[in-house]
A and B are shown apart, each in its own frame.
Chain A
Amino acid sequence: MSNSLNVVGRSVPRSDGVGHVTGRTQYTADRSFPGMLHLKMVRSPLHHARIVGVDLSEAERVPGFVRALTWRDVPHNLYTILTLIGVEPEEEYVLAEDRVRFRGEAIVAILAETEAAALEAVSKVRLDLEELPAVFDVEEALKPGAPIVTSWGNNTFMYEGHPCRRVRLGDVEKAFERADYIVEGVYNTSPIEQAPMETTGCIAVPEANGRYTVYTNTQALYFSLDNTSIILQVPGKQLHFVGGTVGGGFGGKVDVIVEPIATLAAMKTNRPVRFVYSRSEEMQVSSTRSAWRIYIKDGVSRDGRIIARKVTSYADSGAYSRQTPYALTKHAANAAGPYAIPNVSIDAYCVFTNRQPSSAMRGFGVTMGSFALEVQMDRIAERVGVDPWTIRFINAYHNGDMKPHGKLAEDATLIETMQAAATLVGHDLPDELRSMTSAPRDAGRDGGDR
């Protein structure tokens, strides 16, 4: 196969296909080890609360209870996943210390001989919580007097000292003044759970050589390994992570949630420890795609060309950042869409609220922006009185066009993609659109006074 280089266009059997159809594929929770303990979490029933006290005495009397872990047991309890690519600050707690910021936040890990015993012990832990005001809306969270979720005094992620990720090209305000049309829209999306069929989980196994083998269904094996190494303050060589078999992820399994605490539990007990989410944990506790609110204001000339676009986006990160600050950066870079617009201003806010944390999901900050932009494009078409195909063709990138973030387009394919799509859906494009290409613009014809 490698000599002939002719795989494209041919169907090739999946390497894991026979395992899947026979049920012999071994997913994380299909493994079992002698003496394996079960880990279950005591979680906050409140959206925002001060932790006054935790009483384990009754839980400890449950037959099969082995031990509990609190934040005091975690060597480096405060972390942030993207510290690996230089994102600061560390702001999420492996186990809550004095405050919980979302309903479902982990407070105490219970280890027991059986799953049933672990669940029973969890139900016997008495939490003394003092409820605090909570905020669930991105713009409410930015108002003066809003409950503060973070430890740094406001509810936004700070990008190099700014409360939002900013992109600027040209001067939108001046361009709005000379625009023939101003088209404004606000677009809201809800959080979406990735809902993989297999829930998040791992099993950590102490080995005789002092290492720990961690079987996990993470989508990001080295994120998990490196963060576990940081959180537990052990060298990476002590951790052997086994992954690659993932029963669905869609971005829902790139957070580092189960491995550090399960590995710590294996260290503290010298026994294999299984920590697998229930379906309700997967739905209610694991991170979702963010809820978004996106404001778009466009200045459009009579012929349908967009001469200015201003985007103000708010992504609801929930109580902690996880991958959302990075998603906002990707969002900001793409927020003007695949269109050549000479004046662009983008402010993209990563906002903290008391919702369950959001993180990665397919498209990573771009998908929701595309939803908003393409509905906006249809509105522009309607307002200007041209059809929705034309409005996109005349504004599409050509190679050599300047993108808002300062990079020249060099792989533009929107025009060709739309032509192919038109053919596939049987839409007859007019000749002037059918003959367009993404080749660099003729300065005399297309460049000019944009």
Chain B
Amino acid sequence: MASTIVTFEFGDREVEVMVKPMATLQSVLRNQLGFTATKEGCRQGGCGSCTVLVDGEPMLSCLLPVEDVAGRRVTTLESITPPEGLHPIQQAFLDAYALQCGYCTPGMVMVAKALLDHDPDPTDDDIRQALAGNICRCTGYQPIVEAVHRAAEAMDVSGAKAGGESAHEMLAGTSGEAAR
């Protein structure tokens, strides 16, 4: 079947890719665009390591035909990393030792971002519910839950709780989402 051109918003720019039918967003990000923070743990929607945000909602990029994100905004771990320093969620994962091998971390951080964008003050249960689709084989999860709490506090101290998503983006220095 013929390839088609798909355009979507990625970081602070628009990207245009030529894809075979049913190419996944994961394979386009990793193999065509070279952005490999989005991981490949199972390619069957089972592990969450490939989680990205599409218009702010967490999605499994391994199950998502790239045609489905045409005209929409895709956010990966690369997009939320500020030019200097770290996003508060990244800093919290680092400070809470919420990682060992690191392979699940990109998916965990993206899920945490989607959660905190919607709910700046989640409970333990909220966090566990949000992370339920993401597998970690190293940490036992507790440090990850702790990291999300820490991130919520850090973002709240900076006045994010009242401001919603736009304030989050601003305080992270990512209002336009950092270009790589």
Chain A residues with CB under 8 Å of chain B are 11, 13-14, 16-27, 29-30, 32, 194-199, 246-250, 278-279
Contacts and interface: CB of A to CB of B under 8 A. Distances in A.
A279 B94 contact: no
Nearest to A283: B42
A265 to B, nearest CB: 20
Contacts of B91: 21
Nearest to A17: B94
A278 B93 CA distance: 28
Interface stretch (B2-10, B99-107, B124-132): B99-107
B37 A247 contact: no
A131 to B, nearest CB: 29
A324 B36 CA distance: 35
A266 B118 CA distance: 49
Contacts of B102: 16, 19-21, 25, 247
Given A197-B135, A198-B41, A22 B86 contact: yes
B46 interface: yes
11 contacts: A17-B94, A22-B77, A23-B105, A30-B36, A195-B137, A196-B103, A197-B47, A197-B135, A198-B39, A248-B138, A250-B137
B40 A29 contact: yes
Which of B44, B78, B102 counts the most A-chain CB atoms under 10 A from its CB? B102
7 nearest A-B residue pairs (beta carbon): A23-B37, A20-B102, A247-B103, A30-B36, A197-B103, A23-B77, A279-B42
B47 A21 contact: no
Contacts of B81: 22-23
B150 interface: no
A148 to B, nearest CB: 36
A23 B43 contact: no
Contacts of A250: 137
A60 to B, nearest CB: 23
Contact of A197 (B37, B77, B101, B109): B101
A21 B46 contact: no
Interface of B is mostly: loop
Interface of B: 30-31, 34, 36-44, 46-47, 49, 76-78, 81, 86, 90-91, 93-94, 97, 99-106, 109, 135-138
B44 A21 contact: no
A372 B171 CA distance: 54
B97 A197 contact: no
Given A30-B36, A279-B41, A21 B104 contact: no
B86 A248 contact: no
Contacts of A197: 39, 41, 47, 49, 101, 103-104, 135-137
Contact of B106 (A23, A194, A199): A23
A29 B78 CA distance: 17
Contact of A22 (B37, B100, B136, B137): B37
Which of B31, B81, B100, B105 counts the most A-chain CB atoms under 10 A from its CB? B105
Contacts of A247: 39, 101-103
Nearest to A16: B102
B103 A21 contact: no
A20 B98 CA distance: 10
A219 to B, nearest CB: 11
A21 B99 contact: yes
Given A20-B99, A279-B41, A279-B43, 5 more contacts: A23-B77, A247-B101, A247-B102, A250-B137, A278-B43
Contacts of A13: 94
A229 to B, nearest CB: 28
A34 B94 CA distance: 34
Contacts of B41: 197-199, 279
Nearest to B35: A23
Contact of B86 (A21, A25, A26): A21
A250 B103 CA distance: 14
Nearest to B48: A197
A248 B42 CA distance: 14
